[in-house]
Structure 1
Amino acid sequence: MVRRQLPNPAELFELMQFKMPELNGKKRRLDAALTINDLRAVAKRRTPKAAFDYTDGAAEGEFSLDRARRAFEDIEFHPGILTPAPDLDTSTTILGGPSALPFGIAPTGFTRLMQTEGEIAGASAAGAAGIPFTLSTLGTTSIEDVKAANPDGRNWFQLYVMRDRDISYGLARRAADAGFDTLMFTVDTPVAGARLRDKRNGFSIPPQLTLGTVLNAIPRPWWWYDFLTTPKLEFASLSTTGGTVGELLDAAMDPTISYEDLAVIRDLWPGKIVIKGVQTVEDAAKLVDLGVDGIVLSNHGGRQLDRAPIPFRLLPKVVREVGADATIMVDTGIMNGADIVASIALGAKFTLIGRAYLYGLMAGGREGVDRTISILRTEIERTMRLLGVSTLAELTPQHVTQLTRLVPVDQGATVAVS
């Protein structure tokens, strides 16, 4: 028989600790976000549909993005046992400099349209965390202002080659003069991908007010207040900003870019040069033969060619082919620190986050970017401890198996017809 008694108030107070409510709304919603998907949900609530969909969406049927995320879901970890890892070291050396974590912030365009702090929030958060920040050619903050926001950290510059070559070359020289140490030459955007969400939303630069956008903005007055009461959007390279994103890209970019452009850029850039948008083993090998310092396996977050190769799936093949001769990095689809750990285990030296950073930005400005980095850091550390490794160098392909739902067809096989 269980002996019953009247509750003892003193014992009850020992068992129940009342938590003081958090009065700061921003801190409350960011603290409640435990994953990048949680930040995405907050961002969606707080951002007008057109700006959110520009960030969240991809090209055409969005198969490339969906497949990239599934590839990270479809992994199996193999933890070691009785190998305690009480003292973790998540730091790495990338392209000749330090990073406190095995990821940096990828280049993103039109960033202040998503949240008014834009690249300043990203650069300052990256500097505080000790990781690199990459400014896009289509960024909405100048090279010099990004340097001012992250004066002691590592800044990288992403370059598109435009029809007016002098604009591109001038941007590269400005970035070098400002102390940016790495140039990320993006080669997968000769023309804009078909981003259908943007077309359906009538998304343009600057935003065009329609009945739909006004109705969508009513429950989000803070976004419009920020947008209308902060300095005018300025782009790093575009002198005109009227039209859809696709129209702007098609007007600015040159579909005839070639290896000759790479040679010119290599000659004018004094630091490390990385090629972003590599999607085949053959191209990776050719670039390494030409002496580039690094390669980013990327399909542009699924925003260019839909049904493009999945960078994470391509990673082991490229590492086997050229991993000893160049720095191999990967992006597209990263939503969890475990995705980053798996990439490092399969041979990547570094990873880049785009949407994950922007979800945090939209959810809470600079503090939201800090929260993104904190979430990923916690997930990386927990995954490493559960795997039984103390340093990134201890991660090997034996820690990860890539499962697959998509199996290539043997195109050489013959099919009997009855």
Structure 2
Amino acid sequence: MVQRQLPRPHDLLPLLQFKTPTLSAKTRRLQSALTVEDLRGIAKSRTPRAAFDYTEGAAEAEISLGRARQAFRDIEFHPHVLRDVSHVDTGWDVLGRRVSLPFGIAPTGFTRMMQTEGERAGSSAASAAGIPFALSTMGTTAIEDVAEAAGPHGRNWFQLYMWKDRDRSMALVDRAAKAGFDTLLVTVDVPVAGARLRDKRNGFSIPPQLTLGTVINAIPRPAWWINFLTTEPLAFASLSKWSGTVGELLDSMFDPTVTYDDLKWVKEQWPGKLVVKGIQTVEDARRLAHLGVDGITLSNHGGRQLDRAPVPFHLLPDVVREVGKHMEVHLDTGITTGADIVASIALGARFTMVGRAYLYGLMAGGREGVDRMIQILGSEVERTMRLLGVTSLEELTPAHVTQLDRLPPLRSRVTTAVQQ
């Protein structure tokens, strides 16, 4: 028989330790977020649909984005045990300078539409965390203001779309160089705008159109509208004025005639590191290695351009084998966890970038939300490394990761059948 007795006061006291209440509603929200997906849920509840869908959506049927995310879900890790992982180093050199974590903030357009602090929040948070921040040509904060927000220790990259007006493009490049930006990201997968159907259905435009649906959707989100209406008017850092749809703006700017010769011309004029973003084949990676660029970013633009484009994470091992000794290979699209980042590094990526994760944090809580996003991903990177039994990024190898095969190309299945 179990002996029972009345609880004694000194036995109860350890069980009655109450948590100090957090008075700030924003801090409570952000502390409750344990994952990027949690931040996404907060962001969705606080942001009007058109702005949230611009972040969330992709091209056409959004197949590319779904496949990219599924590729990371289909990772199998192979941990080593009985290793001393009491001290873990999550940093190393990227493009000649040290980063504290193997990821940075990707260039995003229309950022202050998502939350009014915009790129200032992103650049200052990245600077505080010791990681790079990339400003988009379609950014909504001036190049010089981003540099100021990041401070003297910030590391800023500028993402360039080649406009039909070459002089205008290079004027932006010159401003970025003078503001201390150390890397130029030339995005090459946007000869024309992708078909972003969510934006069309939402009537997403700059400035936002106040339709009846917009007003109804905004009623439970007053904080967004108060911030939007009481801060500086939304404008593009590289464009004085625009009134029309996003797609019309992109088509008016982007140049379908850009070639390798144009890229070589840009390289000759840029004094810092040059990375080409939007690479989706081994052949293009090889050609860029011969051109002598400092790095490439495997990316399908977050699934926002060509639907059914290659999955960058699937492409990574082949590209690293082909050109990894000649230049750095970076990766984006579909990354939502620190485990995704660790897997990418293990398969040869030198660096990764997050776009939607950053914007979820921004929409969830401005600068503090971006800080929380970085904290979440950073802790996941460190924990995953410990559980794999590694103490530095250099110790990660392809032996730690298997990409499970969910969608093998048809030609591979046919070849296998013939061999059998």
Give the equivalent residue in structure 2 for 1:404.
Answer: 405
Give the equivalent residue in structure 1 for 2:392.
Answer: 391
Give the equivalent residue in structure 2 for 1:153.
Answer: 154
- State whether residues 294 and 328 of structure 2, in contact with CA within 8 Å, keep that contact through their aligned partners in structure 1: yes
- Is it true that 1:191 corresponds to 2:192 in the alignment? yes
**TM-superposed deviation, 1:11:** 1.4
Separation (CA, whole Å) in 2 of partners of 1:216 and 1:45: 11
2:360 partner letter: Y
Give the equivalent residue in structure 1 for 2:267.
Answer: 266
1:165 partner letter: R
State, as a whole percentage, how many aligned pairs show the same letter: 69
Separation (CA, whole Å) in 1 of partners of 2:308 and 2:324: 25
Separation (CA, whole Å) in 2 of partners of 1:412 and 1:365: 48
- State whether residues 347 and 401 of structure 2, in contact with CA within 8 Å, keep that contact through their aligned partners in structure 1: yes
1:48 partner letter: P
- Is it true that 1:71 corresponds to 2:52 in the alignment? no
Write the mapping of 1:5-20 to structure 2, written as runs, cut at 5 A: 5-20=5-20
Separation (CA, whole Å) in 2 of partners of 1:44 and 1:297: 28
Residue by residue over 1:254-302, the C-alpha shift from the partner in whole angstroms, topping out at 9 and shown as x without a partner, is 1111112101101110011000000000000000001111000000000
Separation (CA, whole Å) in 1 of partners of 2:405 and 2:244: 40
- State whether residues 105 and 132 of structure 2, in contact with CA within 8 Å, keep that contact through their aligned partners in structure 1: yes
Give the equivalent residue in structure 2 for 1:102.
Answer: 102
Separation (CA, whole Å) in 1 of partners of 2:389 and 2:242: 51
Residue by residue over 1:191-219, the C-alpha shift from the partner in whole angstroms, topping out at 9 and shown as x without a partner, is 10011110111111110000000000000
Give the equivalent residue in structure 2 for 1:345.
Answer: 346
Give the equivalent residue in structure 2 for 1:53.
Answer: 53
* Count of matched residue positions in the alignment of Structure 1 and Structure 2: 416
Separation (CA, whole Å) in 2 of partners of 1:33 and 1:83: 31
Separation (CA, whole Å) in 2 of partners of 1:270 and 1:178: 12
1:103 partner letter: F
Separation (CA, whole Å) in 2 of partners of 1:351 and 1:42: 24
Distance 1:68 1:412, change over 3 A: closer
Separation (CA, whole Å) in 2 of partners of 1:270 and 1:18: 57
Give ranges in structure 1 of 5+ residues lacking alignment: none
TM-score, reference length from structure 2: 0.97
- My pick for the range that moved more, 110-119 or 80-89, is 80-89
Separation (CA, whole Å) in 2 of partners of 1:238 and 1:248: 10
Give the equivalent residue in structure 1 for 2:216.
Answer: 215
**TM-superposed deviation, 1:2:** 1.2
**TM-superposed deviation, 1:412:** 9.8
Give the equivalent residue in structure 2 for 1:23.
Answer: 23
Separation (CA, whole Å) in 1 of partners of 2:130 and 2:207: 33
Give the equivalent residue in structure 1 for 2:81.
Answer: 81
- Is it true that 1:131 corresponds to 2:134 in the alignment? no
1:168 partner letter: S
SS class of match (1:384):
helix
- State whether residues 238 and 252 of structure 1, in contact with CA within 8 Å, keep that contact through their aligned partners in structure 2: no
What is the aligned-residue RMSD (CA, Å)?
1.3
Separation (CA, whole Å) in 2 of partners of 1:167 and 1:100: 34
Residue by residue over 1:53-92, the C-alpha shift from the partner in whole angstroms, topping out at 9 and shown as x without a partner, is 0001100000000100000010000000111211111111
2:28 partner letter: R
SS class of match (2:228):
helix
Separation (CA, whole Å) in 1 of partners of 2:340 and 2:223: 33
Separation (CA, whole Å) in 1 of partners of 2:392 and 2:2: 52
Write the mapping of 1:324-339 to structure 2, written as runs, cut at 5 A: 324-339=325-340
**TM-superposed deviation, 1:413:** 4.7
- State whether residues 123 and 150 of structure 2, in contact with CA within 8 Å, keep that contact through their aligned partners in structure 1: yes
Separation (CA, whole Å) in 2 of partners of 1:145 and 1:21: 36
Separation (CA, whole Å) in 2 of partners of 1:204 and 1:10: 64
Give ranges in structure 2 of 5+ residues lacking alignment: none
Separation (CA, whole Å) in 2 of partners of 1:20 and 1:389: 36
Give the equivalent residue in structure 2 for 1:167.
Answer: 168
SS class of match (2:410):
coil
SS class of match (1:190):
coil
SS class of match (2:275):
strand
Separation (CA, whole Å) in 1 of partners of 2:193 and 2:338: 30
1:404 partner letter: D
Separation (CA, whole Å) in 2 of partners of 1:176 and 1:408: 43
- State whether residues 313 and 331 of structure 2, in contact with CA within 8 Å, keep that contact through their aligned partners in structure 1: yes
Separation (CA, whole Å) in 1 of partners of 2:214 and 2:396: 48
- State whether residues 342 and 400 of structure 1, in contact with CA within 8 Å, keep that contact through their aligned partners in structure 2: yes
Separation (CA, whole Å) in 2 of partners of 1:145 and 1:338: 33
**TM-superposed deviation, 1:21:** 2.4
- My pick for the range that moved more, 150-159 or 109-118, is 150-159
- State whether residues 161 and 187 of structure 2, in contact with CA within 8 Å, keep that contact through their aligned partners in structure 1: yes
SS class of match (1:360):
helix
1:51 partner letter: A
